[in-house]
Amino acid sequence: MTSSLTEISRPRRNGGQILMQQLRIHGVRRLFMIPGESYLPCIDAFNEHRDAIEPIVCRQESGAAYMAEAYGKLTGEPGICFVTRGPGATNASIGVHTAFQDSTPMILFIGQVGNDFYEREAFQEIDYRRMFGQMAKWVAQIDRTDRIPEYIARAFTVATSGRPGPVVLALPEDTLWGTAEVDDLPRYQRVHSHPGGSDLARMTALLEQAERPLMIVGGTGWTHDAMRDVAGFAERFQIPVGTAWRRLECFDQRHPNAAGHVGWAMTAELRQRVRDADLILAVGTRLGEATTEGYSVIESPMPRQKLIHVYPEASELGRVFTPAQAIVADVASFASAVAKLSPAVHPQRAAWVERAHADYLASLEPLPSPGPLSLDAIAAIASEQLPHDACITVGAGNYALYPHRYRRYTGPGTSLVPTVGSMGYGLPAAISAKLEQPERTVVCYAGDGCFQMNLQELGVALQYRVGVVVLVFNNSIYGTIRAHQEREFPGRDIALSFENPNFAALVRCYGGQGEVVERTEDFAAALARACEFANRENLPALLEVRYDANGIAPGETLSAIRDAALARQRQASAAE
C-alpha cells in the first residue's frame, strides 16, 4: 500500500543531524562559521548536505558574524553563523549588536557546555540569555534533542517577523550528541503586516492637506518592486524622498524625486528642508539618533512636523516619536498598497520636489580638499566609473562620508553599511556580497583603522576565490575621534595616531593585487586595473589611498575645526 502523504519518516538521528536538516528545510544555502569542538555533531552533519549548504570557514568570529549579517541584509533571509562557546560568542557579539540595531534577520548558533556541567563555570561557560538579552530578539538554549525542530522553526519566525533582528540559540553538547526520533517541521512562513483601507484613506487626506511633505525611507525588506511602487507613489503625490541614515539603497537616487541622505553630515539645504517640512512620511525607518541628528531636525517626543510613521513593529510606533498617524506595515506590503493610490486633487508641489532634487544634484559636485589626493574627487570618480548596480560596502569612520555623499545608489543590494556604526564591517560584508552575487562588482571602502579590525578575512577571499575590490584610506589616525577631539579639546591631540603596514604589499600575501595611490589623477586608472584583476582572477584587489589627514570630511579640515574651537574658547574666556 502506498504510504499517506501525511506520514513522516522518523529515523533516529543525533542533534547535529536534526539541526542541519532543519536548516536545509528552512532554505539555508550558505552559513558562516569558526569551527569549534563544542558543536562537532553539526560540523559532521555538513557531510549530508554538501549539495545544498555551503559552509564558509572564516578567520575570526566577528568576521563570520558580519558576513552573516550582510547576508541577511542582502537576501531578507536570516544570515546563519556558527561559533564556539565563550570567546567565540564574545567575538561574535558585535555582529549580533549590528543585526539588532540594523534590524537584520540573523541566527547565531553557539556551542555550549553540556547540561551535566552547567552552572559550574565550566570551561568557556557563559549564560547566553543574560549575555545577549539586550541585543537580540530572542535568546534560548535547546536542552532537549527532540525539541530542536521546534526551536529552529521559532528562530526563523522571530528573526523575520515584525521588526527583523537576531536570534541566539545555545547548543549544549549533550543536546547535539543525544539522539531522538522526531519529525522535521516544514519551512517557516514569513508573516507580513499590511496597512488597512482606513489607514490609507487617512494618510491620503493628510498628504493632500500638506504643502511641504517629505518622505524618508529606510529599514529592511526593500525589493526592486517595492522601491518602484514607492517611487511611483512619490511621483503621483509630488513628494521628495530622502534616505535614512546609511539606508542609501532604499531609493534609486537617480530618480527625480530623490532628495538625498538624511542624517549626520547631511547638507545644510537638506537639513533645512527636513525642518521646513510640514509633514514627514517615514517608511520603514525608526528615525533614530543619526537620521534625526540627535532628535533635533525631527524632535522627540513631539515633532514639529506632522508625522506619519509606517513601521512593521507596533511596539516601535509611538515609542520615541508621537505620530499624527501610526501604520503597522512592512515596507513591501505598504509599497504594494500605495501603488494603487492616487490623489483626488492634483497636488501643486512640483517646485518643492524639483528644488529638493536640484539641491541633491548640486551636492554631488566635489568640494575642495587639501593635498595632492582629494577624497571628494576620487569618490566622485568611483561613482562615475563603477557599474550602477555595484555593491558598495563601508565600515565606520569619516572616510565613509565620501561614498555616502558622492555615490548615487540605485536600489537593493547596492549598499551594505552598518547603521550601528561598527568598524571592521566593510571587508566581511564585501566577501559575503560577492559570494551571494558573484557577477556583481563589489567594492569595500575601509579606513586604515577600520580595515585592520578584520583584514584577516582576506584569507576567506583567497580560499573561496572572491574577487572583491578594497579601497583602504590611509591617513594614519582614527580620524572621526580626532575630529571630535579637536572640537572639544583643540590643539591637544593625543593617542589617536598609529603606524601602518604597506597594505598594498600585504594583500599580495593573500594572492591579491595591490597598488598605492597618492594623486587624484592616478586613481581612475588604478581603480580600473583593480576591478579588472578582481573579475579576472577572482581574488582581492586593494588600492591603498594615501591622503592628507587634514582633509577630514567633505568640505572640512581638522585645522578649521581646531581654529573654530579655539575661537569659541577665546570668546567664552572674554565673556567671563
Q: Does 7 score more than 60 pLDDT? A: no
Residue 406 lies in a domain: yes
Domain stops at, among 181, 214, 242: 181
pLDDT of residue 170: 97
pLDDT of residue 125: 76
Residue 569 lies in a domain: no
541 contacts 511 by C-beta, under 8 angstroms:
no
Q: How confident is the model at residue 9 (pLDDT cuts 50, 70, 90)?
A: low
First to last CA, the chain: 97
pLDDT of residue 6: 42
Backbone phi, then psi, for 37, in 5-degree steps?
Answer: -65, -15
HSE, CB side, 13 Å, CA atoms: give it for residue 235: 12
Residues 379 and 423 in one domain: yes
Residues 217 and 167 in one domain: no
| Range 14-21 average pLDDT | 98
Residues 245 and 393 in one domain: no
pLDDT of residue 314: 96
Residues 175 and 206 in one domain: no
Q: pTM for this one?
A: 0.95
β strands within 210-305, DSSP E: 213-217, 241-243, 258-261, 279-283
Residue 368 lies in a domain: no
Residue 250 lies in a domain: yes
CA distances to 44, 55, 81, 156 from 23, in Å: 14, 12, 12, 9
Residues 300 and 218 in one domain: yes
Mean of all residue pLDDT scores within the chain: 95
Residues 26 and 138 in one domain: yes
pLDDT in tens, 541-562: 999 999 999 999 999 999 999 9
Domain stops at, among 149, 181, 213: 181
CATH number of domain containing 417: 3.40.50.970
Residue 274: all three cell numbers together: 527636513
What's the number of domains the chain is made of? 3
Residue 526: all three cell numbers together: 588604478
pLDDT in tens, 474-524: 999 998 999 999 999 999 999 999 999 999 999 999 999 999 999 999 999
Residues 90 and 287: their CA atoms lie apart, in Å, by 29
Residues 174 and 236 in one domain: no
Residues 355 and 413 in one domain: no
**Cell 597594505 sits on residue:** 503
State the angle between helix axes of 61-75 and 426-436 in degrees (0 to 180), rounded to the nearest 10. Answer: 50
**Cell 552575487 sits on residue:** 437
Report the Cα 462 to chain-centroid distance in Å: 24
Domain stops at, among 335, 362, 389: 362
Q: Does 212 score more than 90 pLDDT? A: yes
HSE, CB side, 13 Å, CA atoms: give it for residue 78: 35
Residues 106 and 218 in one domain: no
pLDDT of residue 2: 40
**Cell 498628504 sits on residue:** 207
Q: What is the 3-state secondary structure (H, E, C) of 412-426?
A: CCCEECCCCCCCCCH
3-state secondary structure of 401: helix
| Range 393-410 average pLDDT | 96
pLDDT of residue 3: 40
286 contacts 219 by C-beta, under 8 angstroms:
yes
Residue 4 lies in a domain: no
Residues 498 and 448 in one domain: yes
Residue 3 lies in a domain: no
Q: Which has more pLDDT, 497 or 3? A: 497
Residue 19 lies in a domain: yes
SS3 content of the chain, % helix, strand, coil (to 5): 40, 15, 40
pLDDT of residue 117: 72
Residue 286: all three cell numbers together: 525608526
By residue range, what is the domain housing residue 540? 375-562
pLDDT of residue 470: 98
Residues 389 and 348 in one domain: no
pLDDT of residue 448: 95
Residues 93 and 221 in one domain: no
Residues 12 and 2: their CA atoms lie apart, in Å, by 23
Residue 390 lies in a domain: yes
